[in-house]
Amino acid sequence: MSRSVALPPRVVRALPALRRAIAQFREAGETIALVPTMGALHEGHLTLIRQARKRARRVIVSIFVNPAQFAPNEDFASYPRSLTNDLAMLEGIDAVWAPAVETMYPQGFATQIVPQGPAKAGLEDTFRPYFFNGVATVVAKLLIQCTPDVALFGEKDFQQLKVVTRLARDLDLPVKIIGVPIVRERDGLAMSSRNAYLSAAERTTAPTLYRVLKDCATRLAADEQIARVLDEGGRAIEQAGFALDYLELRHTESLGKVESADAGPLRLLVAAKLGRTRLIDNVAVRKR
Ligand code: AMP
């Protein structure tokens, strides 16, 4: 029996080589999709990539653990890095853009994008004040470097998706930003590279976050009082052993606070630490 052999992805580490690859695609009249990642790939990333394949002839996956989006006390040094493994998962991808930190931020680098609007919604930004400046700057660079027609981002990082969408619009970047629904483990835990940090006991507890989110979403959709649902949901998360950063009901588009479940479409967003692992998740709140 013959098996077709998928080609290993071409790993590009320098800008001139990236530009040459992109020029070849463009000369052939091909469209390009970009999937930005920090590596340690899992099924969530692969889902983004499958969506990308449907939307463009060529797919570029970037792998770059961006130091600019980590605060000094965060996990930049310990963030899982597994390029060999990642590349094995990327067979058939047209190009993997994996610049070194010095390539992305050469000596003398002195420019930063400081997003406002959704980046100041009082969610992730409250707990990670450096985060969106770092994300916006690196995503702008990735979009300019790769000149994709479409770029795909997960709803897992819901506020990030809003920030990136606004960034592309505000800077007139000729790219369509596409959000992809959250991919979950069988027990409901949102897939994340950081799940690798969880101990066996923590891994058993971790799906509680999604269970509480779903329960709260059902109650909110049934018009229970918002403050009470969020208060009880927050306590359930803490009783399970998490340190809660936030559990917030927001408008899906603006991420603004809402007073009533009729202000929809609505999103319920959570961030909480389990031991040393910070988990985030979110669900839509849909009124019947
Ligand atoms: P990361 O490597 O964690 O920076 O993620 C790269 C991209 O994959 C981001 O757009 C994330 O939102 C997305 N992503 C990560 N985990 C998931 C997931 N479980 N479901 C959907 N998208 C995800």
Q: Which residues pair with 273 in a beta bridge?
A: 243, 278
For residue 43, the model assigns a pLDDT of 98
The pLDDT of residue 2: 45
**Residue 81 has what pLDDT?**
95
pLDDT for position 3 = 53
> Does the CB atom of residue 210 touch ligand 1 within 6 A?
no
CA distance 266 to 198: 30
**156 burial type by CB count under 10 A (0-12 exposed, 13-18 middle, 19+ buried):** buried
Q: Is it true that the peptide bond before 129 is cis, omega within 30 degrees of 0?
A: no
Q: How far is the CA of 219 from the centre of ligand 1 (A)?
A: 28
The pair phi, psi for residue 230, each rounded to 5°, is -65, -40
Q: Of the residues 9, 45, 159, 220, which is catalytic?
A: 45
Measured in Å, residue 181 CA sits from the centre of ligand 1 at 10
Ligand 1 in reach of 195 Cβ (< 6 A): no
* pLDDT per residue as tens digits for the range 49-64: 999 999 999 999 999 9
Distance CA 208, CA 44 (A): 19
Gyration radius of the chain's alpha carbons: 20
Kindly give the number of the ligand 1 atom that is closest to the alpha carbon of 182. Answer: 20
pLDDT of residue 263: 85
Task: Give the pLDDT of residue 261.
Answer: 85
209 lines ligand 1 (CB under 6 A): no
Would you state the structure tokens that stand for residue 238, as one six-digit string?
């803490």
For the chain, the farthest-separated pair of C-alpha atoms sits apart, in whole angstroms, at: 63
List, for the chain, all residue ranges whose pLDDT scores fall below the cut of 70: 1-5, 288
Looking at residue 1, what is its pLDDT?
A: 43
Q: Which residues pair with 176 in a beta bridge?
A: 150
Which pLDDT belongs to residue 8? 77
Annotation says 45 is catalytic: yes
**35 Cα nearest atom in ligand 1:** 7
* SS3 label, residue 228: helix
* Cβ atoms 67, 87 nearer than 8 A: no
pLDDT number for residue 194: 95
User: Would you tell me the crossing angle of helices 208-221 and 226-239 to the nearest 10 degrees?
Assistant: 170
Look at ligand 1, atom 17, and give the residue with the nearest C-alpha: 44
CB 96 within 8 A of CB 10: yes
For 242-276, how does the pLDDT look when each residue is reduced to its tens digit (9 = 90+)? 999 999 999 999 999 998 888 879 999 999 999 99
* Residue for token pair 């971790």: 206
The tokens describing 106, both together, are: 């050469």
